[in-house]
Structure 1
């Protein structure tokens, strides 16, 4: 919706009309870390087998699988 080449409305004015910050216009999302994607996949697979695992048991499972994670990261 924002056209930076517009000569009648500045970029600042266009952002203000749309109620977004200028930094929000320039922000580019980095996406998810590949390690986190792997961990989430492993957690999902294990959760389907053992839905009663909590964060502590899931962290222990990942540690046994060779990943260095803590309970807070699993939560």
Structure 2
């Protein structure tokens, strides 16, 4: 029984690219690289399906705020709520019943 060969990703990409270009048939590529034609077809299909991911964005989405920004905004909201409640209570004490209650 023959031991299974693990191919490098660079090798797979090279063979898949040649299969996509279609300058040689699958059987010719199979003889050239010593890989079964079905395997070359699988690599070709995987390369075509994942090609869009190559041009996708890397890293965080620039439109999404970071967790630090969210935490900062939450603390600011808390501070404003406390200030609002404080001033609402103070206005009732100063103005009596004429003051608006939030």
Instruction: State TM-score, norm by structure 2.
Output: 0.26
Q: Which has the higher helix share?
A: 2
Instruction: State TM-score, norm by structure 1.
Output: 0.31
> Which of 1 and 2 has greater Rg?
2
